[in-house]
Amino acid sequence: MEIFEKWEQERRKFILKMTIFSIVFFLSLPISIGLFPEFMSQPRFGWLSFAWLLGFAQIGVTWLLCWFYWLKAEQLDELLIEVKRQLEAAE
């Protein structure tokens, strides 16, 4: 079914982008602290070092990505209604 394939492709592309971004972004915290502890823990803004900033950013970015997923899923759901309609018509 064409429209379902479109749905699947779009979803897959979206998830793939999110996954790649997430792996890079979220693993950057433990990796960077492990590899460059000096650089990461230097206080930059008052007591805030890059390690803390990145830590807090992870909370914000998690929320943001969840929100993106929500928006995308709403959009995909519209396509899905069409898929279901066609399936019923086919029966």
Partner 1 sequence: MNFTYFIFFVCIVVCTLIITYWAARKSKTTIQFYTAAGSLTGVQNGMAIAGDYISAASFLGIIGQIALYGFDGFLYSVGFLVSYLVVLLFVAEPVHHLGKFSLADVIVARFPNQHIRWIIALGSLIISVFYMIPQLVASGLLIRLLLDIDYTTSVLIIGSLMTIYVVFGGMIATSWVQIVKTVLLLSSTFLLSLIVFSFYSWNMTDLIAEVKLGTPLGEQFFLPGHLLQSPLEMFSLYLALLLGTAGLPHILIRFFTVKNGKEVRKSVLTASGIIGFFYLMTFVLALGAAAVIGYDTLVASDSTGNLAAPLLARALGGDFLLAFVSAVAFTTVVAVVAGLVISATTAFSHDIYHHIIKKGNTTEKEQLKAAQWSAFGIGIISTLFALGLKDINVTFLVSLTFIVAASSIFPVLLFTIYWRRFSQAGAIIGMLAGLFSSMILLLIGPHIMNVENGWILRDPVISLFNPGIVTIPIGFLSAIIGSYLFPDDGEFDFDAFSMKAQTGVDVRRESR
As measured in angstroms, the least distance from the Cβ of 2 to partner 1 is 14
As measured in angstroms, the least distance from the Cβ of 63 to partner 1 is 6
Locate 32 and state its tokens: 């960077």
Q: In the complex, which residues of this chain contact partner 1 (CB under 8 A)?
A: 4, 7-8, 11, 15, 18-19, 22, 26-27, 29-31, 33-35, 37, 40-41, 43, 46-49, 51-52, 55, 58-59, 62-63, 65-67, 69-70, 73, 77, 80, 83-84, 87, 91
Tracing tokens 């990461």 back to the chain, one arrives at: 40
Q: Decide: residue 63, CB within 10 A, 0-12 exposed, 13-18 middle, 19+ buried.
A: exposed
Residue 45 has what DSSP assignment? E
Q: For residues 70 and 74, what is the distance between their CA atoms, to the nearest angstrom? A: 6
As measured in angstroms, the least distance from the Cβ of 7 to partner 1 is 8
